[in-house]
Amino acid sequence: MTQNNPEFQTANLEAWAKAAAKSAPGGDVQALNWLTPDGITVKPLYTAADTQNLPYADTLPGFEPYLRGPQATMYAVRPWTIRQYAGFSTAEESNAFYRKALAAGGQGVSVAFDLATHRGYDSDHPRVTGDVGKAGVAIDSVEDMKILFDQIPLDKVSVSMTMNGAVLPVLAGYVVAAEEQGVRQDQLSGTIQNDILKEFMVRNTYIYPPAPSMRIIGDIIEYTAKNMPKFNSISISGYHMQEAGANQALELAFTLADGKEYVKTAIAKGMDVDEFAGRLSFFWAIGMNFYLEVAKMRAARLLWCRIMKGFNAKSPKSLMLRTHCQTSGWSLTEQDPYNNVVRTTIEAMAAVFGGTQSLHTNSFDEAIALPTEFSSRIARNTQLIIQEETHIPNVIDPWAGSYMMERLTQDMADAAWTIIEEVEAMGGMTQAVDSGWAKLKIEAAAAEKQARIDSGKDVIVGVNKYKLQTEDAIEARDIDNVAVRDGQIERLKSIKQKRDPALVAAALAAITFAAESTTGNLLDLVIKAMRLRATVGEVSDALETVYGRHRANTQKVTGVYAAAYDTSNGDTMEYWNKLKSEIADFAEKQGRRPRVMISKLGQDGHDRGAKVVATAFADLGFDVDMGPLFQTPEECARQAIENDVHAVGVSTLAAGHKTLVPAIIAELKKQGADDIIVFVGGVIPRQDYAMLYEAGVKGIYGPGTPIPASAKDVLEQIKKAIA
């Protein structure tokens, strides 16, 4: 009887359990099990018995169901593509960065656009004064696109563009810029994200409501299938779900369910599934749960093959899931930031072991500001070292045959499939998104995770354990938002002076008519308009005339943070209960509870931090109002006054704080409410703290600040203000 025989191993498990019990807490071997946030039990020991009857453990890479990789030889012949996701300030600066990255070993360009562009506003729009060029590159027209890709041969370099809301004018601008570079549409390779369903769940850079947004997706899939055969028409993204708080099973299930919805949309346009499905791609976040991330990627290929067979797909390209990955931005810490180099390396290895087709590695300083050239080089070299020095790529699916990994892959697939079936019972992902159910599931997971960190149950090295006494200053990239916006406005004026206004007006009217009459292909019409030098904002307005702008319902979960925190013990529990008592005392003395309004200013829709803070403050006993997304400082001040709040908390992730936070303080003063205090949380470089305090901010809480600590400080500031 061999040692790999399940019967042999089962017979010896009793002996192992006795030996392990000597070291296990309380002598209980079961205490060594890890219950993941996904509800999967990970055991400390796996044997051959755990892989018995697994249907796909002995399959091969390049063959159905592609669990072990979409290509037969994987990295042994061709390593994954090294990408550097970047974009900042102007097209000129971003172009210089891309060219340096390509010269230094990068193999594709991944473009990050600023929030004004994402939301379909030209840089001269009054709602985007604090957003232009801050969290990505500002693009208003084809002229910006031509500069962005200057001296980058678009027939040879693949381009990935993270764009969803303003997907039509941005993709059209890229196509026209390539044409004017002499590159045909059928020569273009790369990916447009074009994944609007997840925007309604987590990232919020939508423009139009769900139904017309799905029509846009269908038109893009149709146009690219006919005219751009090498270009991926959609990148179905789980990345932003995990960044917003989803665990791996939720990310996997919701992303595949989104993909299923997009396939239905294309088929409803009369397309054959094998005509377009081979150009669908996926995009995963890779966080610090190493084993779960590898299992997630293997399970994703297994489940996508199952889903596509359900649509009667026959082409192998339709059945195989191909993916880009990006290391986690959320796992990066402001405190002791050089630890982030290690985190990103571990996450990159998980992506590689999981079989990604391309990878972006985050820079260590991205919890502080946009990456510098120094930090970007380290991030890029992390991939080069894995590719060139470790010999990891020489082996296809090195985790194959691992008792643990094969079992965990199946467990992950089963957990995700249960959620997918729940979504289908609702009528599909569009219904799950429309109802708000999917968003609340992610927000609950985020609140629970934050409570586990704040209470010390989950360790973050350098943040809640092994903390430095003093933090060294880190160089942070700073963007002069005013200068960038002024430059963009001048270029817009120049474009409008040189173009033929009658031709542009006719092209925009044709877009509006097609939207209203549900005729024609919108991407085709927008390409024609962009050739004539219509702008991103004008195209968006032409569609908004018919579709309107989507307004999200502001909801928050309750009780989840407290439930996770209440199971802690010792000092953390004592601190929590004492703070709740202080808030209750305040309410008794003042005749009402301390009231705060949590707000997002400008076009920054990343609301994980805002929602988690709102949940935790409410669980502590604050009255909490949530401001709607995309407020101006004037609108925020007016709502704060109308709601009679003690404090406004501004959550910022997209670097608009230097413009927008002083503006809200000035606006409160202007409207006679300078007794309302303002505090700020999120990604704020320490070099900006003095300026914000000078402007009148009463508290700044960067990444890693325990929420109870910030709540205590806000309470004390409110007491001072009303004394």
CB 535 within 8 A of CB 495: yes
Measured between alpha carbons, how far is 77 from 212 in angstroms, rounded to an integer?
43
Measured between alpha carbons, how far is 118 from 136 in angstroms, rounded to an integer?
10
Name the active-site residue from 134, 324, 439, 600: 600
Q: Kindly write down the DSSP assignment for every residue of 363-406, as one continuous string.
A: -TTTTTSSPPHHHHHHHHHHHHHHHHTS-GGGSSSTTTT-HHHH
Give the helix/strand (H/E) hosting 280: strand 280-286
Our answer to whether residue 565 is catalytic in this structure is: no
Name the active-site residue from 198, 240, 324, 449: 240
How many other CB atoms are found less than 10 A from the CB of residue 50? Answer: 18
CB 242 within 8 A of CB 445: no
Name the active-site residue from 66, 75, 206, 239: 239
Residue 461, CA distances (Å) to 36, 333, 475, 689, 704 in order: 19, 9, 21, 24, 11
Query: Quick one: which of 326, 323, 303 has its CA closest to 415?
Result: 303
Measured between alpha carbons, how far is 226 from 155 in angstroms, rounded to an integer?
18
Residues in the chain: 723
Our answer to whether residue 239 is catalytic in this structure is: yes
Measured between alpha carbons, how far is 399 from 492 in angstroms, rounded to an integer?
53
Our answer to whether residue 600 is catalytic in this structure is: yes
Residue 188, CA distances (Å) to 83, 177, 224 in order: 17, 11, 10
Our answer to whether residue 606 is catalytic in this structure is: yes
Our answer to whether residue 466 is catalytic in this structure is: no
Structure tokens at 533: 């030098």
Give the helix/strand (H/E) hosting 515: helix 501-517
Name the active-site residue from 296, 360, 439, 606: 606
Our answer to whether residue 391 is catalytic in this structure is: no
Structure tokens at 513: 């008519």
Name the active-site residue from 66, 75, 85, 575: 85
Name the active-site residue from 50, 114, 140, 604: 604
Does residue 717 sit in helix, strand or coil?
Answer: helix
CB 708 within 8 A of CB 576: yes
Measured between alpha carbons, how far is 298 from 406 in angstroms, rounded to an integer?
9
CB 68 within 8 A of CB 396: yes
| Residues assigned a catalytic role | 85, 239-240, 600, 604, 606
